[in-house]
Amino acid sequence: MNNKAQIRKTLANAGLKATVQRLVILEALTDNFSHPTAESIYRQIKKKYPSISLSTVYNTLEVFRQHGLVRFVNTGSVTVRYDPVTDKHHHLFLEDSNKIEDYYNNELDRLLNKFFSKNKIPNFEINDMQVQIKGRYSKYQKAN
Amino acid sequence: MNNKAQIRKTLANAGLKATVQRLVILEALTDNFSHPTAESIYRQIKKKYPSISLSTVYNTLEVFRQHGLVRFVNTGSVTVRYDPVTDKHHHLFLEDSNKIEDYYNNELDRLLNKFFSKNKIPNFEINDMQVQIKGRYSKYQKAN
DNA sequence: TTCCGAGTTAATAATCGTTCCAAGTTAGAA
DNA sequence: TTCTAACTTGGAACGATTATTAACTCGGAA
Ligand SMILES: [Mn+2]
Ligand SMILES: [Mn+2]
Ligand SMILES: [Zn+2]
Ligand SMILES: [Zn+2]
């Protein structure tokens, strides 16, 4: 689905040169929905592309962020985690594994929009909204 | 309302020794609803209590956190910010000033509870939930 | 074809926020 | 009042991120 041609197209749409580094980093991101850190993306890429530099990973992620290709995930900890999904969605924070999972629900989004249309925050213009859900899986571990 | 006696009581309730350092840090927190960083709490305290160590601020905030006296705020940035309000509430992230404001709304909480009662996430037990609202004040700046 | 220059990368240093540690101090139980 | 586990301190260490900069790339003039 998200093959190399698609990745090139994404870069072109963002007005970014399709360098090898950007291709592998973006490819790594599209393969990886675990909300990875810069470091873990770096390790993942190093196998295929050993000459990559950690600086380049940081630089590129920042360029991607500025062009809306990735987002930061708000975690309460020190390390920044990146999210290649820039569509509206929410997050499940797993309390016993520092995993972060995506949660999509259009009905929830409609509910929130409706709520904040009725209950305006005075003089405040909302640009984005995200629900952080903390908890744990019981009984069955979710398949990864 | 939250005088020194009250602060001592809070520490006692948590089963913590009432050291001078803990008293001034907790006092600083109760005065400060700007979701401060460890560093900014440190600077604030240093005026009254110049011998305080930054390590102590970090240590103490961590102890407070373990005893439910403060929380981390999840921001997308590198620095941890602390929240002395441990009641259920949500946050407004001001997009042009890195300020964070509290947002309380019981009706919103009821709405969310109701939603997630009906729309259970399979095998997932929710322990906490927080809405992050990003945006900006228009026209009038909110009085600080 | 050669050359140029903007854009990019890699290596390294610098900085930042946080944690760790060994040694000294203290709150408060007894 | 004494005693000791709990606490604080300052500095070093650490991990994550950012800044600096020199080398590389490559498409498009000349
Ligand atoms: Mn996300
Ligand atoms: Mn809060
Ligand atoms: Zn996500
Ligand atoms: Zn708050």
Domain count, chain A: 2
What are B56-108's pLDDT values in tens digits? 999 999 999 999 999 989 887 778 899 989 899 999 999 888 899 999 999 99
Question: Mind spelling out the 3-state secondary structure of A22-82?
Answer: HHHHHHHHHHCCCCCEHHHHHHHHHHHCCCCCHHHHHHHHHHHHHCCCCEEECECCCCCEE
A70 and A96 housed in the same domain? no
* Residue found by looking up tokens 């909302």 in the block: A126
Same domain, A57 and A27: yes
User: Do both A79 and A108 map to the same domain?
Assistant: no
The answer to whether B31 touches B7, Cβ cutoff 8 Å, is no
Instruction: Pick from B61, B79, B124 the residue to mutate for testing the A interface (most A CBs within 10 Å).
Output: B124
A48 shares its domain with A115: no
CATH code, domain with B128:
3.30.1490
Closest residue in B to A90 (Cα–Cα): B131
Co-location of B10 and B55 in the same domain: yes
In a domain, B144, yes or no: no
Quick check: is A12 in a domain? yes
Contact yes or no for A21/A56 (Cβ under 8 A): yes
Please indicate, yes or no, whether residues B68 and B106 belong to a single structural domain of this protein.
no
Domain that holds residue B28: 3-83
Please tell me which of the candidates A78, A123, A133 has its beta carbon nearest to residue B129.
A133
> CB–CB of B103/A101 below 8 Å?
no
Q: What percent of chain A has pLDDT over 70?
A: 94
Same domain, B12 and B79: yes
Answer for B55: CB within 7 Å of strand C: yes
CA at A60, C1' at D20: how many angstroms apart? 17
Q: Is the pLDDT of residue B16 over 50?
A: yes
Q: Are the beta carbons of A123 and B139 separated by less than 8 Å?
A: yes
State whether B56 and B76 are in the same domain: yes
Whether residue A77 and residue B80 make contact (CB cut-off 8 A), yes or no, is yes
Same domain membership, residue B17 and residue B77? yes
